Every structure is written in structure tokens, then in C-alpha cells.
A = this chain, B = another copy of it.
Amino acid sequence: MNAVKTWINTELQQKPSIFSKAIVEAACTCFFVFIGLGANSSKILTRQYMGIDVQLAWASGIGMGVLMGSRVSGPHINPAVSFMFLVQKKMSLSHCLVYCFAQTFGAFIAAAMIFGIYYDALNAFDGGIRTIHGANATGLMFSSFPQDYLSLTNGLFDQVANTAVLCIGVKALTDKKADIHILLHPFIIITFIFLIVSSLSLNAGSSINPARDFGPRLFMLLAGYDWEVFSYNNYKWWWVPIVGPMTGGVVGGIWYDLCIGYHMPDLSIRNINRTRTFIEPIFEVQPDDEEADYSDNNTVDDKIST
């Protein structure tokens, strides 16, 4: 046991490996999806309107998930965010793929746990017959499904816009010129998520996260739902919460840069490295070196004047 502890202390803790980052990404994604799906379930299984408590549960779950993983992997807890950093060359392709897989896995596990916690409630609600249509539909406990009126074009535009707002918030938080104080970060993350789910979720639920949507959708096949979770609307939906957010993340980043970022004064007299954001460690990846060198962060941490 002592040898294991020594290995943990020396190997894992001095420099988080991609293995560690993947575990933390999976765990933090699992955490917020678990909370969010629990909130959805509490409303669906009591036939209540999904109001502000569900919105704040998702927002807070994401905020706390980001808070817990901030010193290891970012965290991103969202393939759309990882993809945005990949496009901006702040992340290597292999890291991005590992992140996306870990996030999806974490969301899958979260769905399984919610299924277990609400197993009796679900059976009492639908008598054991899982369905995504009709009076006893429970599909929204796990994944997103569009409103009946929503066309493919409108659905894609909706998903792009939702995630663009998310990534505008991510850019604002990680913009060194903005230098938003780190004490505000959890509050701002929660606020941005709340903004999105309270104003843009009518059409299809504001999934804004391919892992949060696809992981539980895969689980639904094991939970008794039929293949319709993928064939819904003649296969015109299951991929929209993946492609839309991936695109929206990039669009949001561009919007921020063009409309706000480039216009912000670069006051070099101020030590702009002082700001350590939650997602900052991942910025230091060199394309040739897939493991971030955290020794520089010691200097950053010293200067933190929180």
C-alpha cells in the first residue's frame, strides 16, 4: 500500500498525465450529467413543468463540475469546448479524442446511475414499458428530443446558437485581456449555463454538449428503450446535438473575437499572466509535446493574488 501511495504521490501528482486528465474529465462530466438528469427525472416522473429549479440544477452542476476538475484537466466536460480549443490549436488531436471519449463515457455512467436511483419511480410511472412518445414518455430523463414542429434547419440553427452562447462565455472567461478575476468564475459559468437553458431550450432542450446527449442516448438502449432513440424522426435528430454544438462552439469563439476580443485594450503594463483560469493549463500544450509542462504554472500560482 505504501508503494502504491508513493507512486501516486510522485507520478500522478507532480504532472497530471493524459490518463489522469481523462479520469477527471469523465468524473466531472459524470457529476454534472448525474445532477442534471436527476433534475429532469424529478419533473418528468411527477408530470411537473421543467422550471427554474431544473435550469439552475444543470447550471450549478456544470459550475461545480468545472470547479472540481479545474486543477487537473481544465476541465472541458464538453466535446464542443475541446473541439473549439482544437480548432484554435490550443489542443492536440489525440488529447481532444481522449477527452471526448472520457466525457461521453462519464455521461453514460451518469445515466446508468440515474436509472438505478429512479428505477422504482420509473417502473411506477410507465409500468416497465419504456417509451419516448405519448403520455408515459420518459426519454427526456436521459437525452434530448426535439419539439414536433422543429424542422432540421431550425434544429441545427438552434443547436449552433445555444452552444455559441456557451463558448462566448468560455472565451470571455479565458480571455487574458479581460482578466476576469478567478473568484468570479464559478458564478459566471453558472450564469452562462442558466442564460442558455432559460432562454433557448424551448426547441430541443439546450443539450449544448455532445457527450451529455450521446452518452445517455447510448445507455437508453440498455434501459429498455428501443432503437427509436436513434431513428427518431427518420434519423434526422440523433446527430444534430453532436454536429450543432461542435459548430456552435467555433462560431461562438469567432463571434467573441470579432465583436469583443479584438477591441479590448492589451494593457501590457499589467501582468496579464496573473490570471489563472479554470481552463488555462490546457493552453500550454505544444503540438509536439502532448503532455503539458506544469512547471511554468508554479510561477503563475505564485503570482495569484486571490
Instruction: Pick the contact of A263: B16, B120, B269, B297 (CB < 8 A).
Output: B16
What are 21 A-B interface contacts by the 8 Å CB criterion?
Answer: A13-B177, A13-B266, A14-B265, A20-B263, A21-B263, A26-B259, A27-B255, A27-B260, A34-B165, A35-B199, A42-B202, A51-B52, A52-B53, A60-B194, A63-B191, A116-B157, A117-B157, A117-B158, A118-B203, A120-B150, A124-B149
CB nearest neighbor in B for A13? B266
Among the 9-residue stretches A83-91, A131-139, A230-238, A298-306, the one with 4 or more Cβ atoms under 8 Å from chain B is A298-306
How distant is A283 from chain B, measured CB to nearest CB, in Å? 16
How distant is A52 from chain B, measured CB to nearest CB, in Å? 4
| B183 and A181 contact, CB distance less than 8 A | yes
| B24 and A263 contact, CB distance less than 8 A | yes
| B72 and A260 contact, CB distance less than 8 A | yes
| B194 and A57 contact, CB distance less than 8 A | yes
CA distance A150 to B264 in the complex (A): 44
Within 8 A of B (CB), among A104-132: 113, 116-121, 123-124
How distant is A72 from chain B, measured CB to nearest CB, in Å? 5
Within 8 A of B (CB), among A22-47: 23-24, 26-28, 31, 34-39, 41-42, 45-46
Assess whether A168 is interfacial by the CB under 8 Å rule. yes
CA distance A8 to B15 in the complex (A): 37
Instruction: Pick the contact of A177: B67, B71, B161, B269 (CB < 8 A).
Output: B71
| A13 and B264 contact, CB distance less than 8 A | yes
How distant is A124 from chain B, measured CB to nearest CB, in Å? 4
Assess whether A285 is interfacial by the CB under 8 Å rule. no
Within 8 A of B (CB), among A234-266: 255-256, 259-260, 262-266
Contact A188 to B67, CB < 8 A, known contacts A60-B195, A72-B263, A202-B46: yes
| B265 and A72 contact, CB distance less than 8 A | yes
Assess whether A96 is interfacial by the CB under 8 Å rule. no
CA distance A187 to B158 in the complex (A): 29
Within 8 A of B (CB), among A164-185: 165, 168-169, 172, 177-178, 180-184
Within 8 A of B (CB), among A65-85: 67-69, 71-72
Max chain B Cβ within 10 angstroms of own Cβ: one of A9, A151, A194, A256 = A194
Instruction: Pick the contact of A57: B26, B49, B181, B199 (CB < 8 A).
Output: B199
| B199 and A38 contact, CB distance less than 8 A | yes
Contact A262 to B12, CB < 8 A, known contacts A48-B49, A53-B52: yes
Apart from A27-B259, A113-B161, list 4 A-B contacts with CB within 8 A. Answer: A39-B198, A41-B202, A64-B172, A181-B182
